[in-house]
Amino acid sequence: MTNLPLTKHQQRAMQAVKNFVEQKLAHDFSGHDMAHIERVVKLAQKILLNEPNANYFIVVLSAYLHDVIDEKVVSNVELAVDELRAFLALQDLTELEITSIFSIIENMSYRKNLSDKKTLSLEGKIVQDADRLDAIGAIGIGRTFYYGGNKHNIMHDPTILPRMSMTEESYKQPNTVINHFYEKLLLLKGMMNTQTAKKIAKQRHQFLVQFINQFEKEWSGDD
C-alpha cells in the first residue's frame, strides 16, 4: 500500500508545488484557475479514500500540476514543460516520481484521448476522474460558459450541429458553447475509471441533462 501519511520532505514538496501552481495560474480567466485546481485536488482525495493502493503523493501532486503545461493555459508548452521539470528536480523528487507525474499530466486530457486512448496508471485514472468530475454538474456548466466567453465562442446556434467524431486537431477548432455539452460533457459519465467517480458522476450528469433540456426549451420559446 502506498496511500500512506506523507513524510516531512513530501509535505514540503507539496507546499512548494501548490505555491508554484498558484503563481502560474494567478491570472487565468479560462476556468483553469487555482479554484479549479483546489476542487480537483479535493475530488482526487475523495477518490483516494477508496483506492488504498494508489500513491497519494503522486496523485495529489499531479492534481495540482495537471493544467500548468496545458496549451489552453500556457502559450509555450515546450518551455512550460522544461520549467516544470527543473522545478520538480529542485524539490528533490526522484526521476521515477517526475516521470510518473508527467505520464499523467501529459496524457490525461480529453483532447489527448480522442484519436488514441492513452494508458494511465491507477494514479492517472484518479486524477483524470477528478478533473472530469469538475467539468460536469453545476460547476461544469459555469466553467463551460466562462471558457466559451473567454474564447469569444458563440453561445448557441441550432444550425451548427455538434461534431460527434473528432480528432485532437479538430477538437481545437471553435464551436458553440452548447455543442460542447454534446461533444464532451454529456459523454464523461461513461468515461469514469473509478467506482467513486462513477457514483459522483451520475448525479452531476443528470444536472447537465436537466439544464440542456431547459436551455433548449427557453431558446426555442417553448418554455
For 3-16, the pLDDT digits (tens) are 667 999 999 999 99
Q: What is the pLDDT of residues 92-138, one digit of tens each?
A: 999 999 999 999 999 999 999 998 889 999 999 999 999 999 999 99
Q: Which residues contact 124 (CB under 8 A, 6 or more apart)?
A: 62, 103, 104, 107, 108
DSSP characters for 120-169?
Answer: --HHHHHHHHHHHHTTSHHHHHHHHHHHHHHTT--S--TTS---SS--HH
Across 76-98, average pLDDT: 96
Long-range contacts from 204-211, C-beta under 8 angstroms, 24+ separation: 204/133, 204/136, 204/137, 204/138, 204/140, 205/136, 205/137, 207/136, 207/137, 207/138, 207/141, 208/136, 208/137, 208/140, 208/141, 208/181, 211/141
pLDDT in tens, 128-165: 999 999 999 999 999 999 999 999 999 999 999 999 88
Task: Summarize the confidence of residues 178-192 as an average pLDDT.
Answer: 97
Single pTM value for the model? 0.94
Nearest to 203 by CA among 183, 187, 189, 185: 189
How many other β-carbons are positioned within 10 Å of the β-carbon of residue 87?
17
Grid coordinates of 113: 484521448
Give the model's pLDDT for residue 4.
64
Where residue 31 falls (left for φ over 0; alpha for ψ -120 to 50; beta otherwise) is: left
Q: What is the chain's mean pLDDT, rounded?
A: 94
pLDDT at 2 over 70: no
29 or 42: whose pLDDT is higher?
A: 42
More confident residue, 137 or 72: 137
Q: Which fold has domain 8-220?
A: Hypothetical protein af1432 (1.10.3210)
pLDDT band at 1 (very low <50, low <70, confident <90, very high): very low
Q: Measured between alpha carbons, how far is 53 from 97 in angstroms, rounded to an integer?
A: 16
Q: List the grid coordinates of 35.
A: 479554484
